[in-house]
Amino acid sequence: MAIQNASDLLVYIKTGVAIKQITRIKALTTAPFSVFETGKKGVKISNITKADGTVIDDAAKNITLNTGSSLITGVSQELVATYNYTDMSGSDQTDGDYTYRDFRNGGTGLVPTLEILSGSGTLKENGVIIEIISPGSSDILDPVAFSTSASFSTNTDLIDVTTKDSEGCSESVSGLKSFELSTELLQNLNPDHPIDGTDFFTILEKRRTYNVSFSDRIRNILTNNTVAAGQDGFVLSSVTEQTGVGDPFGGGTASFITATTTSNSRLQCNLSASRLEDKKLTWSFYVKAGATSTATIQITNVDRESYTPRIISGTGSLQTLGSEYYKIVGLSSSYTRIALEFKNTIDVDSGQNAVEFRIYPGVYNSQTTSNSIYTSSWQFEQNQSVTDYQDPTKVSRWQGDAFVTSIDFDAGVEDNFTCSATFTGTATNTYNT
């Protein structure tokens, strides 16, 4: 790996475990189909993700009656019995005109959003609604050291197998393997704000293994390059989404989103307040015109005056809107990159446990069902100024489980001191790209 400056040498530690996505499937209680044939396979289910990560499309399911209960029950039977989903509700629940149940995915991590499509029957435009209640996620890795003194070593013990047939030469085979990470960092003594969620006192005391990485600098705290519901905290609200769309770099990681209501139709990414509080942050993304050349952006639970938006490249201009929003006008058919840079560390509103980063097709409170935009390549980085987009799936790193085996402290100034920690591996380290 190439080291360009002091901040490029980082050590990461896993601070959050992988979780399974929970999806809510809602169907109109009365007549979700505009055309319905008894005894036929009324719907098809797509984007079913099995526990091993395999994605199944067009799983046809027979629906016996033109009711929300019959549709939801049929879908539940298919997901639970065949694809290892868990019916979290157990029975039908109601929400206004809709009947719904919540389903937990069979496997952990990032999964595509379920789709319920017309089969032999024709679903009404609002016949079925899919909502992501709790997105799945992969392991969360947070940086614990920004220091040129970080080091990584891996070793293999040799076993002597020299015999009389070795003709006077030493012969060996590979024995026990091990690896070690050592690092220095400046840590705050205030227990309410350990560096990026890591408290070495607690780690050493619990005597548990932790997953650590040694890598090039990972700027983007997202772990997936796809801007899609169910990925890294991305959630849809009253919009349809087409994924796999062309991005600014010649790939297919962008999304095409279209409003389905007259207000608050949006795509958003939810990040835990505990990951952001008192940290530096810049949010950047690409956007271009669809059926509208206007978009609205909003960050919830923080003061708008605490950050500054600017256009990094491309066409368009920014305007304030209300007390919480910015409007992007003049978008074209080519991508524009926008960054929102926090002037100081983030101060999340009291009592809030998440911050939502939202983008709306058109003007947020005056939308039409034809409002649509393209968006791609979101990046959240703990800097106060934007850098080039980094695809988080292409960062090379050594990674493995390790114990914290030693900690040394040198007195610093005021509330800070220099902490030196050594991680000793307990299993084979792997090189991931």
The DSSP string of 11-43 is EEEEEE--BEEEEEEEEESB--EEE--TTS--E
Q: Per CATH, which fold does 6-16+141-218+395-432 belong to?
A: Factor Xa Inhibitor (4.10.410)
pLDDT in tens, 310-335: 999 999 999 999 999 999 999 999 99
In the structure encoding, which two tokens stand for residue 247, read together?
A: 């991005």
For position 426, what pLDDT does the model report?
A: 75
In the structure encoding, which two tokens stand for residue 408, read together?
A: 């040394």
For residue 101, how many other CB atoms are within 10 A of its CB? 22
Question: What distance in Å separates the CA atoms of residue 342 and residue 118, rounded to the nearest whole number?
Answer: 45
6-16+141-218+395-432 and 234-393: same fold? no
pLDDT in tens, 178-208: 777 777 665 544 444 444 444 555 666 666 7
Residue 144: strand, helix, or coil: strand
For position 6, what pLDDT does the model report?
A: 44
State mean pLDDT over 106-116. Answer: 80
Within 180-295, residue ranges assigned H as helices are 200-206, 273-276
Question: What distance in Å separates the CA atoms of residue 374 and residue 263, rounded to the nearest whole number?
Answer: 18
For position 182, what pLDDT does the model report?
A: 76
For residues 367 and 185, the answer to whether their CB atoms sit within 8 Å is: no
pLDDT in tens, 205-215: 666 777 777 77
Question: What distance in Å separates the CA atoms of residue 2 and residue 219, rounded to the nearest whole number?
Answer: 15
Going by the DSSP 8-state scheme, the letter that residue 427 receives in this structure is S
Question: What distance in Å separates the CA atoms of residue 221 and residue 228, rounded to the nearest whole number?
Answer: 16
Domain boundaries, the chain: 6-16+141-218+395-432, 20-136, 234-393
Beta-ladder partners of 359: 267, 297
404 vs 354, residue with greater confidence: 354
For residues 288 and 335, the answer to whether their CB atoms sit within 8 Å is: yes
Residue 79 has phi, psi (to 5 degrees) of -65, -45
Please name the amino acid found at residue 297.
Answer: I
Beta-ladder partners of 421: 183, 407
Parallel, antiparallel, or unpaired for β 172-188 and 416-425?
antiparallel
Question: What distance in Å separates the CA atoms of residue 34 and residue 125, rounded to the nearest whole number?
Answer: 9
- Pick from 181, 109, 111: which is nearest to 143 by CA? 181
In the structure encoding, which two tokens stand for residue 360, read together?
A: 């709306």
**Domain 234-393 maps to which CATH number in 2.60.120, 2.60.40, 2.40.50, 2.30.280?**
2.60.120
State mean pLDDT over 224-244. Answer: 88
- Pick from 245, 230, 258: which is nearest to 112 by CA? 230
Name the least confident of 6-20, 51-65, 215-229, 293-307: 6-20
Residue 137: pLDDT band with limits 50, 70, 90: low
Helix, strand, coil % in the chain, rounded to nearest 5: 10, 50, 40
Question: What distance in Å separates the CA atoms of residue 91 and residue 93, rounded to the nearest whole number?
Answer: 6
For position 375, what pLDDT does the model report?
A: 97
Percentage of the chain exceeding pLDDT 90? 42
